[in-house]
Amino acid sequence: MEILKKLLEDLPCYPIVDVRIGLHWTVAVVDTSQQLQSGLAATLGDRHDHQSSPDIPAAGELTQYNSLELAGWVLGDQMVQASVGLAVLNASLPRYPDAWREANGEEVIARYGHGRRVVLVGHFPFVPSLRTSVGELWVLEQHPLPGDFPAEAAPEVIPQAEVVAITGMALINHTLPDLLAHVNPGAFVILLGPSTPLSPLLFEFGIDWLAGAILTKTEPVLQAVSQGADFRQLHRFGVRLVNMARPGLEI
């Protein structure tokens, strides 16, 4: 939790303009007084039954909260609320446009994983093509597909890797610290996916590269999220893939 607490530590307090919790993605919009800023996070859900308490106790009233209140939800164990918390955190982070470069996660992994052993935490759509671009690829997945390793294999698999790429969703389900603890010193570490906070604070925790996303058009993305869009659909409605690298690395 130290990583999340560090990200929350200096987070500004902004009014909440909108929150949409979609089938696949959650998006939050805050008002910085100078501009509206938006942030994405994957929507992770818990199994819900009609006898349990609501996933979002204040559903319909989230704009009555401020950004610090909602961002703090990322520390909780309720996954939908943690998804909202990370989306608000991502919306509230300072922007570093001079440090952003265009690239996608697959390109970065392929470049640094050429001829090397690579572990990818999370089964991304580019797995088949990535297998032809790196020396060896092991995929860890909570719901393994054919050829994947179960998430429980992380302690055995991750230490063997020279490149470790981890989904930003690991911040929502709070598995990131344990995953990083298994990384072999000297391995190149990438945090990727639209849930990834684009904050240089993450470099203090052994992460070398951030491959995330920002919204370029808020209203179309809000509408698409509300209608269950997946990321490929969101991308064309107004999402830009951006990367940040640890100082000393070239993008």
Give the pLDDT score at 107.
93
Is the CB of residue 231 less than 8 Å from the CB of residue 25?
Answer: yes
pLDDT digits (tens, 9 = 90+) for 151-166: 999 999 999 999 999 9
Q: Is 47 a residue whose pLDDT tops 70?
A: no
- Going across the sheet that includes 117-121, the strands are 101-102, 239-245, 209-215, 188-192, 163-167, 117-121, 136-141, 149-150
Q: Which two tokens stand for residue 158?
A: 């991750």
pLDDT reported for residue 251: 67
pLDDT tens digits, one per residue of 99-127 = 999 888 999 999 999 999 999 999 999 99
Q: Does domain 2-95 have CATH number 3.20.20.70?
A: no
Closest CA to 181 of 55, 10, 3: 3
CATH 1.10.3720.10 fits 98-211, yes or no: no
246 pLDDT band, cuts 50/70/90, is very high
Give the residue-averaged pLDDT of 178-193: 96
Residues of the chain with CATH 3.40.50.11590: 98-211
> CATH 3.30.390.100 region(s) of the chain?
2-95
Confidence (pTM):
0.94
